[in-house]
Chain A
Amino acid sequence: MIRCRELAELLTSDRLRDASLRVRVEARLHLWMCRHCARLARQMEQLRAAARKLAYSFGPTEAETPGEGLEERLMRKLSRKA
């Protein structure tokens, strides 16, 4: 049976989905029984969601700002160089 340390590393390195079927089944059973590993798995998902939200906070999404600012400035500077 997979141990907490091994599973924790699979979770933090995001390799669980690429693991063998046997490992994935063992991991699922382990996560069902071990609240600490289940917590770590949840935290990795929450961290990913929060990081994606942060990335989009760095600039408005494409759909909201078609052709605004950044692209036009870049085109002007690149055209000057060409």
Chain B
Amino acid sequence: MSDSRQADMRTLGFLRARDPQTLAALVQDHARPLYRAARGMGFRDDEAEDLVQDVFATFLETLDRFEGRSQVRTWLFGIFHRKVFERRRESQREERHDPIDEVFESRFDANGKWVRPPADLHQILESKEIGRVIEECLNGLPTAQREVFVLREMECAGTEEICKILGISATNMSVLLHRARARLRECIESKGWGRK
């Protein structure tokens, strides 16, 4: 058993015994990453805090079902993922067809060469306004794509962890990330900052 897994199992023992210091340490370690992810998913600050509270409350209620097969962080983000979809009342199924695929394909000819190469976005990508632009563009992403983007690009989670959190295959994760990043790039370019 790895050191982090052993530490998680010790933490679980203390939490099951309702040890307040262990709960405080758990909140200290995971509240802000969960809060950032909630904001990344487009929840307002009060909604994000409420969502994080809900995640911890559910975690404590379901402690007995947690067998330590995944890390505490992965388990918490798994709860977070289910809460996000509950609140959005959306299906978790990624559509097989996504219009962004056609936009992406339209940039290449039959030989796979660029016919519409990427515009120069250096000015906007390095500007102070890029945060606001990304936030705006994130609102145009389907929830599943947005979640993969938030976990991977904003919370630096690895492929294996994201797949466990979302319950998807590595192939599905790649498709979601490809669509999310392609869509964001198109959105930023469409803001008129890009020059060919």
Contact = CB atoms under 8 A, between A and B. Distances in A.
Contacts of B181: 12-14, 44, 47
Contacts of B20: 79
A14 to B, nearest CB: 6
B18 A58 contact: no
A12 B11 CA distance: 38
B73 interface: no
Nearest to A54: B131
Interface residues of A, number: 43
Name, among A5, A36, A82, the residue most crowded by chain B CB atoms within 10 Å (CB to CB): A5
Contact of B178 (A3, A12, A67): A12
Contact of B31 (A4, A50, A74): A74
A67 B27 CA distance: 10
Nearest to B173: A13
A43 B125 contact: yes
A53 interface: yes
Interface in A41-58: 42-44, 46-48, 50-58
A51 B155 CA distance: 9
A53 B131 contact: yes
Given A47-B185, A50-B125, A62-B32, A13 B177 contact: yes
Given A4-B113, A40-B118, A82 B60 contact: yes
10 contacts: A4-B108, A4-B112, A9-B178, A12-B178, A47-B134, A53-B131, A54-B131, A55-B40, A59-B39, A70-B35
Given A58-B35, A78-B60, 10 more contacts: A5-B105, A5-B108, A5-B112, A36-B118, A47-B134, A47-B181, A52-B154, A58-B40, A71-B27, A71-B32
Interface of A: 3-6, 8-9, 12-15, 18, 36-37, 39-40, 42-44, 46-48, 50-59, 62, 67, 70-71, 73-75, 77-79, 81-82
